[in-house]
């Protein structure tokens, strides 16, 4: 399950989506997420499904990567479904368990929220799978540059966000190694109740936190040794330019948002 997390991973490729300007991809991904909260009917998510499948197809992302991105959130989806089904009042009551009721509105809202979370994870996974960490850093920094006039540290924020994304796969590998090492010593992470399982995670979390702090310290020392002073005076080997495909993708996204807004009616 740990190795199924795809957030922060980059899948090299030469598709149209890979070649898009990172600034455009970040903006379009943000609009995609906002659009998910605009939709208020299931028919709207049907359009989202078609659009998302189209993007995944032209990005040439294997279907297994998309399924891997959903495995870690299965428990979150189940919790969301149960929470909405049991605690949402409605006009038609199908069953009652003490203070909890199963209503038509609860079932509707549970399905609605599950679909929204699934598309939210899939959409953000497409961004990280098709954009390298360096390009993502430069894109975030360029988008934040106009806010420097009001004191926003654009370069530092972009660097922090990208380092966080970059180290997600590293920490996943580290966690997997620690789990295997503890199992080799006889640790049992699967039997017992929830409290015992939580206690069994301590031998994993302690070395994981220690290794994380050690890596952060090594990274800071490496940056200081290379006289890193922030973004002032720094240049980029690759300059980003908005091209024809970027404009086409913007138009497609605008049309998609218009269709989604119309689906509210």
Kindly tell me if the per-residue pLDDT of 3 is higher than 60: no
Q: Cβ(52)–Cβ(123) under 8 Å? A: yes
Rounded Cα–Cα distance for residues 205 and 202 (Å)? 5
Contacts of 178 by beta carbon, 8 Å cutoff, 6+ apart: 203, 204, 207, 208
Q: What is the pTM (predicted TM-score) of this model? A: 0.76
Rounded Cα–Cα distance for residues 106 and 89 (Å)? 7
Q: How confident is the model at residue 54 (pLDDT cuts 50, 70, 90)?
A: very high
Mean pLDDT, rounded, for 248-263 = 89
What pLDDT was estimated at residue 31? 92
Kindly tell me if the per-residue pLDDT of 166 is higher than 80: no
What pLDDT was estimated at residue 27? 92
pLDDT digits (tens, 9 = 90+) for 140-159: 888 888 887 887 777 778 77
Domain boundaries, the chain: 1-131+241-265, 155-234
CA torsion, points 247, 17, 259, 254, in degrees to nearest 10? -20
Q: How confident is the model at residue 186 (pLDDT cuts 50, 70, 90)?
A: confident
Q: Cβ(109)–Cβ(88) under 8 Å? A: yes
Q: Alpha carbon of 117 to those of 111, 156, 251: distances in Å?
A: 10, 30, 25
pLDDT digits (tens, 9 = 90+) for 80-102: 888 888 888 877 878 777 777 88
Q: Take residue 150 and report the two structure tokens written for it.
A: 């009001």
Q: Cβ(27)–Cβ(144) under 8 Å? A: no
Kindly tell me if the per-residue pLDDT of 251 is higher than 90: yes
Mean pLDDT, rounded, for 90-119 = 83
Kindly tell me if the per-residue pLDDT of 136 is higher than 90: no
What pLDDT was estimated at residue 8? 60
């Amino acid at each position: 399950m740990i190795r199924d997390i795809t957030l922060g991973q980059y899948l090299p490729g030469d598709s149209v989506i890979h070649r898009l300007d990172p600034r455009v991809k970040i903006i379009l991904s943000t609009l995609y997420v906002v659009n998910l909260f605009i939709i208020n009917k299931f028919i709207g998510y049907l359009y989202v499904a078609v659009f998302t499948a189209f993007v995944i197809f032209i990005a040439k992302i294997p279907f297994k990567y998309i399924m891997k991105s959903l495995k870690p959130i299965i428990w979150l989806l189940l919790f969301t479904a149960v929470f909405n089904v049991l605690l949402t009042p409605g006009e038609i009551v199908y069953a009652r368990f003490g203070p909890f009721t199963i209503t038509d509105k609860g079932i509707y809202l549970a399905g609605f929220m599950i679909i929204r979370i699934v598309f939210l994870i899939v959409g953000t996974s497409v961004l990280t799978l098709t954009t390298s960490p360096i390009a993502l850093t430069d894109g975030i920094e360029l988008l934040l540059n106009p806010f420097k006039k009001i004191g926003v540290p654009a370069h530092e924020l972009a660097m922090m966000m990208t380092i966080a994304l970059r180290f997600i796969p590293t920490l996943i590998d580290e966690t997997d190694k620690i789990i295997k090492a503890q199992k080799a010593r006889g640790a049992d992470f699967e039997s017992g109740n929830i409290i015992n399982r939580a206690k069994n995670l301590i031998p994993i979390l302690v070395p994981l936190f220690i290794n994380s702090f050690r890596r952060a310290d090594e990274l800071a020392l490496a940056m200081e040794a290379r006289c890193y002073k922030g973004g002032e005076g720094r240049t980029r080997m690759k300059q980003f330019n908005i091209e024809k495909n970027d404009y086409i993708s913007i138009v497609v996204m605008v049309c998609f948002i218009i269709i989604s807004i119309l689906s509210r009616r």
